[in-house]
Structure formats: structure tokens, C-alpha cells
Amino acid sequence: DAGITQSPRYKITETGRQVTLMCHQTWSHSYMFWYRQDLGHGLRLIYYSAAADITDKGEVPDGYVVSRSKTENFPLTLESATRSQTSVYFCATQTRDFYNEQFFGPGTRLTVL
Amino acid sequence: QQQVKQSPQSLIVQKGGISIINCAYENTAFDYFPWYQQFPGKGPALLIAIRPDVSEKKEGRFTISFNKSAKQFSLHIMDSQPGDSATYFCAGDNYGQNFVFGPGTRLSVLP
């Protein structure tokens, strides 16, 4: 039981290219999140989704696009990558029951040259 | 954006010592205050969490102290071990609307 997986784990791309980061969960948790982690900034929310076909912006959504056609998948697309989007990206899920715990994937390290 | 402030940025503790990390929040609507632990190359994982109706929660060597009036909470790690070396994030959650994380504290426990 993998829980939550992210692919690729590492990606190097060039400025202006489109990049899609994948996130897949096996739990059927209703909520899914995308964060970016940068030194000194902690974890910043990019987008989140409450259910299939329901998405909303977080703190830093500019330059990113998300979709959620199926409960288990939540891809994040950088439509035209910029150097400032070099970061580690984490996907997370949440059950939204009493415990509120978020479960994080292993992360994708993205470098934009 | 409702901030969560965290200090110190980094902390070095001798094995067996007490590690203390402090957080302060602004949003009085937060109803859940978790601490996450992150090892290098891994995603964060829930360590311990507290709700504002209690002032302290202890799980093994880890304790959260919560001061609702001061809007502050802290993580205490007793008998710190080298295996505790990691980055620690505090957070506040507003009735499940979304988490707001602190900037993180890098803890190093020396053997």
C-alpha cells in the first residue's frame, strides 16, 4: 500500500517549458494539496482541492495550474517554467475528519535552468 | 495571509538535553495546532498535535505547551537524541480550511 506517491522525484527543465508534476493517492482522501518548500519560507500552499472537479487557490498560485478529474490524482502543471519556480514540491492529502492530519508525499525536486 | 511565526530558525542541542521550539499565531479561529517532523529527502510527517481546549499534550518525549491567551505554543523534546535531528514545522489550521505552516526550525542533536 503506497499511500501517496509523487512523480517524477527529480526533474530538471529549462525556462519556458511546460512541466507536470504528478500526485497519486490510494486512500481516497477527499482533500489534496500542493505545497512548495523553499529555504526560509517553510511550506507554502499553491493549490488545494476539496474533491474531484473542485479546486481553489492557495497562497502562491501564480504560474501554476491544477486539475482533479479523479479523486486519486492531482497533477500540478507549470505552464511556462521560470527560475523562481525551482523548489521542492510536496503533495499532501487530508481526510478532514476530527484529526485534521495531512499526509505528505516524498516530494519532487524541480530545477529550472 | 494569517502568519505563524516560529523560532529559533536553527537549534543545536547536546544529546540528553531539552529542545524547545516556539511558535506564535495570529488567527484566533485556528482550532488545531500540529507539529510536523521532516527528515532530509522526505516529506513532513505529523509528530504531535493539540487543540485549543487543552494547555498541554504529551506523547513520549514530545510535549506541546499551549497558551491560548498569548496565542503561543511550543514543542519540548526531552532527552533529545541524535535521531531527533530534523526540521520541525509548527502549523495552525482553521477548522480544516487550510494549514498555515511556520518557516521551520532545523534541529541538530550532537552525540
The nearest alpha carbon in chain B to A33 belongs to B98
Q: What is the pLDDT, as a whole number, of residue A69? A: 94
What is the nearest CA distance from B51 to chain A, expressed in angstroms? 10
Q: Are the C-beta atoms of residues A68 and A52 closer than 8 Å to each other? A: yes
Sheet containing strand A76-78, edge to edge, reads A4-7, A19-25, A76-78, A64-66
Amino acid at A82: T
**CATH classification of A4-112, choosing from 2.60.40.10, 3.30.430.20, 2.40.50.140, 3.30.420.10?**
2.60.40.10
The nearest alpha carbon in chain A to B104 belongs to A42
Domain residue spans of chain A: 4-112
> Which residue segments constitute the domains of chain B, with CATH numbers given?
4-110 (2.60.40.10)
Q: Which of B111, B100, B99, B109 is nearest to B6 (CA)?
A: B100
User: Digits of tens for pLDDT over chain B (111 positions)?
Assistant: 568 999 999 999 999 999 999 999 998 889 899 999 999 999 999 999 999 899 999 999 999 999 999 999 999 999 999 999 999 999 998 766 678 899 999 999 999
Instruction: Reduce the DSSP state of residue A27 to 3 states and report it.
Output: coil
Q: With pLDDT > 90 as the criterion, what percentage of chain A qualifies?
A: 78
Q: Are the C-beta atoms of residues A55 and A73 closer than 8 Å to each other? A: no
Q: Which of A58, A37, A16, A101 is nearest to B46 (CA)?
A: A101
Q: Are the C-beta atoms of residues A23 and A106 closer than 8 Å to each other? A: no
C-alpha pair distances (Å), A44 with each of A59, A60, A107, B77:
6, 7, 14, 26
Tens digits of residue pLDDT in A53-94: 999 999 899 999 999 999 999 999 999 999 999 999 999 998
Q: A94–B96: do the CB atoms touch at under 8 Å?
A: yes
Residue A100: pLDDT band (50, 70, 90) is confident
Kindly state the cell numbers that stand for B77: 523534546
Across the interface, of A40, A45, A105, the residue whose CB is closest to B43 is: A105
Q: A104–B44: do the CB atoms touch at under 8 Å?
A: yes
What is the nearest CA distance from B102 to chain A, expressed in angstroms? 6
State the sign of the Cα–Cα–Cα–Cα dihedral B37, A91, A96, B7: positive
Q: What is the pLDDT, as a whole number, of residue A97? A: 65
C-alpha pair distances (Å), B80 with each of B20, B71, B85:
10, 26, 9
